[in-house]
Amino acid sequence: MASFQLTLPDDLAEQAAEFGLLDPSAIADLLRAEIRRQIMHKISAGIASLESSDEVPMSEEDVQAEVRVVRDTQRVPARA
């Protein structure tokens, strides 16, 4: 378990305490929610980037061909 010290403006600390937000489990919940929000933001930005790309998506056959190439390069030769 990690611990840290948090310095807040007095008014914010008072409001947070009133709502029980300074409790370790509440802080953990807030951090988890923010992490999820930021992950979703990154995913959304990635999707937007892909949608605005001029690249033509690969066909299923092209993907399978690429997979075969990678597998062939990673395959260990059989012993004689």
Residue-level pLDDT at 54: 85
User: Would you say residue 77 lies in a domain?
Assistant: no
User: Would you say residue 2 lies in a domain?
Assistant: no
User: Would you say residue 28 lies in a domain?
Assistant: yes
Residue-level pLDDT at 57: 83
User: Would you say residue 45 lies in a domain?
Assistant: yes
| Six token digits for residue 56 | 């033509």
Helix and strand numbers, DSSP H then E, in the chain: 3, 0
User: Would you say residue 1 lies in a domain?
Assistant: no
End-to-end CA distance of the chain: 53
User: Would you say residue 25 lies in a domain?
Assistant: yes
Q: How would you class 58 by CB atoms within 10 Å of its CB: exposed for 0-12, middle for 13-18, buried for 19 or more? A: exposed
pLDDT confidence tier of residue 23, bands split at 50, 70 and 90: very high
HSE-CB of 28 using CA atoms within 13 angstroms: 6
Mean pLDDT of 60-73: 94
Whether residue 70 is predicted with pLDDT greater than 90 in this model: the reply is: yes
